[in-house]
Amino acid sequence: MNDALNQLQPYPFEKLRALLAGARPSGAKPAIALSIGEPKHRSPSFVAEALSANLDQLAVYPTTLGLPALREAIAAWCARRFDLPEGWLDPARHVLPVNGTREALFAFTQAVVRRDAQALVVSPNPFYQIYEGAALLAGAQPHYLPCLEEQGFNPDFDAVPAEVWQRCQILFLCSPGNPTGALIPLDTLKQLIALADEFDFVIAADECYSELYFDEQHPPAGLLTACAELGRSDFKRCVVFHSLSKRSNLPGLRSGFVAGDAEILKAFLLYRTYHGCAMPVQTQLASVAAWNDEVHVRANRALYREKFDAVLAILDGVLEVQRPDGGFYLWAKTPVDDETFTRELFAREHVTVVPGSYLSREVGGVNPGAGRVRMALVAPLAECVEAAERIRDFVRSL
């Protein structure tokens, strides 16, 4: 067996199950899960119709590169969304469909990392655990950059020593962040591109929450935006990951894309050809319909805004928690340690959240997620409101 498998840590939800084992909530209160970030809003009906209308494509082997129509739809969406000059993002060279960002983030790391005992994969801390597992199984070591409140829940990139950048092969970014919801400023993205040029590493920007934001007039910038403002038409060393899961409430469709540096994507395509992970044709055609429509995405954001408004009003003055820049998580500070808070909240109120320490790693004696919990506002509005009321009553009882 691959020895690196022994380095993998239990997934946060495994730890959560162990923490809650034996806790017996009262049957008088139905369970409300704010733990898993699985979108619960209705999937667009026109996507389901496109999927069912093309079930005859089950008899067709899909290509790894994907249909031209899908790559063209993705390139056009990127150009609209991130203000790219016309023709910069070539559907044939700069876009590759993938089966969701989770699979792509992992596979990308295997393709990009040059196996070396000194290789580092740098990521925010707390972080999406795929970054860590992908690094270890690619033969690199994870290096964690703490995301603290005093830095706006973004890493202090200025504090990273040159020795780390010299060993870095991939820098993972997540904006809006999971679990913090923090956005990386556009100027910071430009600075990171300059660092990537200086030290020759790849920036892998996980932007799967990019379409969940609060101000319709000011969509958050992404790594492609930074490239456009820098005149970087080759997107050198820059790759972004997007998905329909959160944007369009289609987590089960397993559809996303990777876009950016054509030379990197050429090598990644070769890897994926051997990996055997082509997106089914009927899924591609349904994805074309989703990327071509923004009406359902605006409606989706409106639902999240309503839930954030309601929940934050209930928790105001009770928990130390702020509206995030984007995403659908609340990153709340707890009045007791995060494991105790999570277990007692479940036992007394039948509400499930995730301890922040499970989403982070301790570095230098500090776990930046300790003393916080992640709450995913994915349930229907009424459930989110009831959960917030139960949390309020629980905190007041402490």
Q: How many domains does the chain have?
A: 2
Residues 6 or more apart in contact with residue 254 via CB below 8 angstroms: 99, 100, 103, 279, 283
What is the model's pLDDT at position 82? 98
What is the model's pLDDT at position 24? 87
What is the model's pLDDT at position 35? 97
Does 17 map to a domain?
yes
User: 293, 314, 337 — which closes off a domain?
Assistant: 293
What is the model's pLDDT at position 91? 98
Q: Where are the alpha helices (DSSP H) in 292-364?
A: 295-315, 338-349
**Separation between Cα atoms, residue 147 and residue 127, nearest integer Å:** 9
Residue-level length of the chain? 398
What is the model's pLDDT at position 26? 80
User: 227, 261, 293 — which closes off a domain?
Assistant: 293
Nearest to 224 by CA among 325, 81, 128: 81
Is 209 within 8 Å of 237 (Cβ atoms)?
A: no
In a shared domain, residues 172 and 215 = yes
What is the model's pLDDT at position 126? 98
User: For position 304, which CATH number holds?
Assistant: 3.90.1150.10
Q: Name the residue with tokens 């600075």.
A: 191
Instruction: Give the structural domain span for 224.
Output: 62-293
Residues 6 or more apart in contact with residue 125 via CB below 8 angstroms: 144, 145, 146, 147, 155, 360, 361, 363, 368, 369
Q: Name the residue with tokens 């009406």.
A: 295
Is 125 within 8 Å of 144 (Cβ atoms)?
A: yes
Is 65 within 8 Å of 93 (Cβ atoms)?
A: no
In a shared domain, residues 86 and 180 = yes
Mean per-residue pLDDT pooled into runs of 10, the chain (398 residues): 92 96 89 96 97 96 97 98 97 97 97 94 97 97 97 98 98 98 98 98 98 96 98 98 98 98 98 95 98 98 98 97 98 98 97 98 96 97 98 96
Does 113 map to a domain?
yes
In a shared domain, residues 136 and 32 = no
Nearest to 127 by CA among 170, 65, 83, 84: 170
**Separation between Cα atoms, residue 289 and residue 43, nearest integer Å:** 12
In a shared domain, residues 222 and 113 = yes
**Separation between Cα atoms, residue 386 and residue 16, nearest integer Å:** 22
Does 55 map to a domain?
no
Does 51 map to a domain?
no
Does 57 map to a domain?
no
Nearest to 129 by CA among 286, 209, 219, 14: 14
What is the model's pLDDT at position 63? 96
Structure tokens at 316: 């105001």
User: What is the reported pTM?
Assistant: 0.97
User: 275, 293, 311 — which closes off a domain?
Assistant: 293
In a shared domain, residues 321 and 367 = yes
What is the model's pLDDT at position 215? 95
In a shared domain, residues 232 and 102 = yes
Residues 6 or more apart in contact with residue 217 via CB below 8 angstroms: none
In a shared domain, residues 232 and 351 = no
3-state secondary structure of 396: helix
In a shared domain, residues 278 and 189 = yes
What is the model's pLDDT at position 257? 98
In a shared domain, residues 26 and 69 = no
Does 47 map to a domain?
no
In a shared domain, residues 287 and 335 = no
In a shared domain, residues 203 and 128 = yes
User: For position 104, which CATH number holds?
Assistant: 3.40.640.10
What is the model's pLDDT at position 322? 96
Does 11 map to a domain?
yes
Does 53 map to a domain?
no
Instruction: State the burial class of residue 92 (Cβ atoms within 10 Å of its Cβ: 0-12, 13-18, 19+).
Output: exposed
Beta bridge partners of 366: 363
What is the model's pLDDT at position 102? 95
In a shared domain, residues 353 and 271 = no
